Copies of this chain bind each other. A is one copy, B any other.
Amino acid sequence: MVNTTPFLSPHPAFVANPKSHCGTCNLRDLCLPIGLVDAELDRLDHIVKHRRRIARDGVLYRMNDPFVNLYAIRVGHFKTYQVNANGAHHISGFQMTGELLGMEAISSYRHQCNAVALEDSEVCEVPFSELENLLKDVPIMLHHFHRMMSHEIAQDRNAMLQLGNLRAEQRFAAFLLNLSTRYKNRGYSATHFQLRMSREEIANYLGLTNETISRLLSQFKKTGWVKANNREIALIDLPALRLLAEGK
């Protein structure tokens, strides 16, 4: 259901590769699989000047901040959320290692959402204007970047489809499967992982309430599709979850 091509995720072998010249950034690692030569990789290393640590609940950027950098998540998890006129906020996504934050800001030169760390995390600052300069000299990287932006669009479309079409239990199943796929692509278990976000945050993301999420999880436990202990999740019956998410 969710289109998460391995190509666009860091190959496990490259995540946090200690041999990276950069030493500050997984951006190089992200790009290794696309076949860059050393000189190109060096240029990539050089535009990333800062690695930034963000503590749990720390803010990476805020809505309306001027747009300067993209951020490649080196370790950790983030959430991005928007705040509307009457103060209500809506989580637009959860991001994990290897994903790129801030692309929504290119069009308006200001960030369109808040980005907050869900756990102690680390990002690489990628000055966008310098990245664009580099991209125009390295066609393969240019193309890769376009694919990353396009992937973001495809993902958002998918999330819209879920919000607009699916019943609560389907949305939640799709959410768990989405996490599963993304962890798998990063070389982690597709069936056993820890939720980094609260029930409240999941509910907000899915357009539901925390009570509903709680009830659904209990229900999934009862049917034997998942085991769960607090935020520790084990997906027992992936096929059943897929069937449910895809509309019974």
Give A contacts to B, CB under 8 Å: 1, 3, 5, 8, 82, 84-86, 88, 90, 92, 103-108, 112-113, 132-133, 135-137, 139, 142-143, 146-154, 156-161, 163-165, 204-207, 246-248
Cβ of A206: which chain B residues have Cβ within 8 Å of it? Answer: 164
A107 touches B1 (CB 8 A): no
Look across to chain B and name the residue whose beta carbon is closest to the beta carbon of A243: B85
A152 surroundings in chain B (CB, below 8 A): 153
A162 to chain B, nearest CB (A): 9
CA distance A8 to B117 in the complex (A): 31
CB distance from A195 to the nearest CB of B (A): 19
A-B contact pairs, 29 of them (CB 8 A): A3-B107, A8-B107, A84-B165, A84-B246, A85-B246, A88-B165, A88-B247, A90-B160, A90-B161, A92-B160, A103-B149, A104-B150, A104-B157, A106-B147, A107-B147, A107-B153, A107-B154, A108-B150, A108-B151, A108-B154, A112-B154, A113-B157, A132-B146, A133-B139, A142-B142, A159-B160, A160-B160, A163-B163, A163-B207
- Closest Cβ of chain B to A6, distance in Å, is 11
Expressed in whole angstroms, the Cα–Cα distance for A248 and B86 within the complex equals 8
Let me know if A107 and B150 touch, CB within 8 A: yes
Q: How far is the CB of A207 from chain B (nearest CB, A)?
A: 3
Can you name the residue of chain B whose Cβ is closest to the Cβ of A81?
Answer: B161
Nearest chain B residue, comparing its CB with the CB of A151: B107
Name, among A113, A133, A136, A206, the residue most crowded by chain B CB atoms within 10 Å (CB to CB): A136
**Contacts of A146 on B, CB cut-off 8 Å?**
106, 132, 149
Q: How far is the CB of A181 from chain B (nearest CB, A)?
A: 14
A23–B241 CA distance with the chains assembled, in angstroms:
52
> Do A3 and B142 form a contact, CB below 8 Å, given A88-B165, A147-B106?
no
Is there an interface contact between A82 and B149, defined as CB atoms closer than 8 Å? Answer: no
Does A205 lie within 8 Å of B153, measured CB to CB? no
Partner pick for A103 among B133, B153, B165, B248, CB 8 A cutoff: B153
**Chain B residues within 8 Å of A151, by CB:** 107-108
